[in-house]
C-alpha cells in the first residue's frame, strides 16, 4: 500500500522586516520594528519607492506590500521606513534552511523566505506531522529569533495555501476533507495563481469565492480561459495538476530587477543600471554555491510593455564581471530607443558546480575577479550592504563621467565591488539599493 504524502510549507512571517528587526535589536535598537508601524522600502526621495515588507501594526493602517511609500505615508504619517539589507537576508535564509535539513532530507527552497519539506515517512524519526511542525516552528523562533507559519497537507499546493491562513507563528493543516470548510469560503484571489486579471474574468461569471470556482464547469473555463482556466479549477478542488515546484535544479533561476525613479532613455544608462543587479545575482549565486548557464535581460517601458532577451554562456559562472558582460550585450541587442522604467537581470539553469571546466588558456584576470568577488561578499555580509561600493555607482545621477567609468570597467572586466540590492517579497518575490529592486 502506497504511503500518503506529507508535505510541509514553511513561510517566514514578514521576512524582510523580521530579519531587519533582528539585526537592529542585536545592534542596540530600542524598538522592535515588528511591534511598531514600520515598513522595509526603497529610497523615499525617489518617486517610485515601494513597500517591500510591513509590520502587523502597519498592516492595520491598510498598508500593503507593493504600494508606494508615498501612499503608505498617506495612510500612516508616522510609519518608519527602513532600507533593505539583502546580504543579511540571504544569511538568515541560509540559517533557516540548515535547520529545515535536520527535519527532512528532501528540502525544496521555493524562495528566499519559504521552502517545502517532504516529510513522508519521517514519522518514526520526527513524530506525528503536527508535533514535528510545532517543534520546527518553535526551534526557528528560539534559535534564529523570527517566526514562521507552517502549512501541512498531502501536496505542495494545499500546504502552501494552509501556511497563508492566520498569522504569525502558526501551524495549519489543509487536507482534502478540510477544503470545503477552510478554503472554499475564501475570496477567489486567495487561490494560488489567481491574479487580478483572472479575478476580473471570474467576476463576470459571478464567481467570487474559491468554492464558487470549484463548482463551475471545468470545460467552460478551459474553453473561455484556455489551459490556465483548467489549472485554477483543479487548484480550487485541491488537485495540483500543474506542479508548484520544479525539482530539477537546472531550471532554477536567480534574478534581480529595478524600477527606476525616472525614464531611462539611452542604452548606456541602461547598461550602467545593470551593474548592481548583476552584482546581486552573482552574490546570491556564490552564497548558494551555484552557477548559471544562461543570462536574461528584461525591460518594461512606460506603457508597461515587456521585452526580454536571453543568451547561453560558454560555461557556467558565478563571476560578476561575466554576468555583467553578457547582460550588457543583451541590453544592446534589446534596446530599441523606447524609454524604460523597469530593468531586470536573471541567471537561469542554475546548478551546483562540483568542479570547473579548465581552459587551455589560463586567465589570471578571471582568477583575480573571483577572489575579489569573494572578498567583497565577505565584507558586505559582515559590515552591511553599503560597506563596499563600486566607484562607477557612486554617481547615481548618471552623467558621462560615471558612465565612462562603467564602460571602462566593463571592457576591462575590472575589479568587482559588490553593491547588493534586494527583492520584494513574493512578487517578489519579495529589496532596494536606492530605487525599487526586486529579487527572485
Q: Is 114 a catalytic residue?
A: yes
* Interstrand relation of 80-82 and 38-41 (parallel, antiparallel or unpaired): parallel
Strand partners, 82: 40
Residue 213 and residue 201: Cα distance in Å, rounded? 11
Tell me: cis bond preceding 430? Omega within 30 of 0 counts.
yes
Q: Hey, is 50 helix, strand or coil? A: strand
d(CA 287, CA 419): 15
- State the Cα–Cα distance between residues 134 and 63, nearest whole angstrom: 30
Torsions phi, psi for 2 (to 5 deg): -75, 130
- C-alpha cell of 34? 515588528
Distances (CA, A) of 145 to 90, 304, 380: 15, 40, 22
Can you tell me the distance from the alpha carbon of 279 to that of 285, in angstroms, rounded to the nearest whole number?
A: 10
Using an 8 Å Cβ cutoff, are 154 and 176 in contact?
yes
Tell me which H or E stretch contains 216.
Answer: none
For 132, the 3-state DSSP assignment is: helix
From the list 27, 31, 114, 143, the catalytic residue is 114
| Interstrand relation of 80-82 and 252-264 (parallel, antiparallel or unpaired) | unpaired
- 257: nearest Cα among 236, 234, 240, 273: 273
**Burial class, 55, CB count within 10 angstroms (exposed 0-12 / middle 13-18 / buried 19+):** buried
Query: 251: which residues sit within 8 A by CB, 6+ positions away?
Result: 348, 349
Residue 244 contacts residue 109 (beta carbons within 8 Å): no
Cβ count near 262 (within 10 Å)? 13
The grid cell for 298 is: 528584461
Which residues are designated catalytic?
Answer: 114
Amino acid at each position: 500500500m502506497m504511503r500518503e504524502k506529507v508535505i510541509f510549507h514553511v513561510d517566514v512571517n514578514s521576512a524582510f522586516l523580521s530579519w531587519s528587526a533582528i539585526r537592529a535589536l542585536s545592534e542596540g535598537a530600542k524598538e522592535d520594528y515588528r511591534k511598531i508601524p514600520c515598513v522595509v522600502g526603497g529610497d523615499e526621495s525617489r518617486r517610485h519607492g515601494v513597500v517591500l515588507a510591513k509590520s502587523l501594526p502597519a498592516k492595520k493602517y491598510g498598508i500593503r506590500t507593493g504600494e508606494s511609500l508615498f501612499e503608505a505615508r498617506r495612510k500612516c504619517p508616522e510609519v518608519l521606513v527602513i532600507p533593505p539589507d539583502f546580504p543579511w537576508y540571504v544569511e538568515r535564509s541560509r540559517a533557516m534552511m540548515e535547520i529545515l535539513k535536520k527535519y527532512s532530507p528532501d528540502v525544496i527552497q521555493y524562495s528566499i523566505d519559504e521552502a517545502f519539506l517532504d516529510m513522508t515517512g519521517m514519522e518514526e524519526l520526527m513524530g506525528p506531522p503536527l508535533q514535528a511542525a510545532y517543534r520546527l516552528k518553535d526551534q526557528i523562533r528560539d534559535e534564529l529569533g523570527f517566526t514562521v507559519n507552517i502549512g501541512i497537507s498531502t501536496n505542495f499546493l494545499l500546504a502552501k495555501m494552509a501556511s497563508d491562513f492566520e498569522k504569525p507563528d502558526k501551524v495549519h493543516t489543509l487536507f482534502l476533507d478540510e477544503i470545503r470548510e477552510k478554503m472554499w469560503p475564501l475570496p477567489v484571489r486567495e487561490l494560488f495563481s489567481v491574479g487580478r486579471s483572472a479575478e476580473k474574468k471570474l467576476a463576470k461569471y459571478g464567481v467570487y469565492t474559491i468554492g464558487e470556482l470549484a463548482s463551475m464547469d471545468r470545460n467552460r473555463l478551459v474553453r473561455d480561459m484556455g489551459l490556465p482556466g483548467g489549472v485554477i479549477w483543479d487548484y480550487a478542488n485541491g488537485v495540483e495538476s500543474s506542479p508548484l515546484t520544479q525539482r530539477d535544479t537546472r531550471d532554477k533561476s536567480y534574478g534581480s530587477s529595478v524600477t527606476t525613479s525616472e525614464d531611462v532613455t539611452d542604452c548606456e544608462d541602461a547598461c550602467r543600471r545593470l551593474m548592481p543587479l548583476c552584482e546581486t545575482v552573482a552574490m546570491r549565486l556564490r552564497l548558494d554555491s551555484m552557477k548559471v548557464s544562461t543570462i536574461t535581460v528584461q525591460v518594461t517601458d512606460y506603457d508597461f510593455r515587456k521585452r526580454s532577451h536571453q543568451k547561453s554562456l560558454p560555461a557556467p559562472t558565478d563571476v560578476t564581471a561575466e554576468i555583467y558582460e553578457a547582460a550588457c550585450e543583451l541590453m544592446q541587442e534589446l534596446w530599441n530607443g523606447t524609454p524604460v522604467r523597469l530593468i531586470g537581470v536573471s541567471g537561469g539553469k542554475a546548478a551546483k558546480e562540483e568542479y570547473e571546466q579548465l581552459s587551455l588558456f589560463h586567465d589570471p584576470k578571471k582568477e583575480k575577479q573571483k577572489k575579489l568577488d569573494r572578498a567583497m561578499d565577505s565584507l558586505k555580509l559582515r559590515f552591511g550592504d553599503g560597506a563596499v561600493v563600486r566607484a562607477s555607482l557612486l554617481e547615481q545621477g548618471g552623467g558621462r563621467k560615471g558612465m565612462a567609468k562603467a564602460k571602462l570597467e566593463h571592457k576591462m572586466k575590472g575589479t568587482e565591488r559588490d553593491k547588493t540590492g534586494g527583492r520584494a517579497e513574493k512578487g517578489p518575490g519579495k529589496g532596494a539599493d536606492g530605487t525599487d529592486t526586486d529579487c527572485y
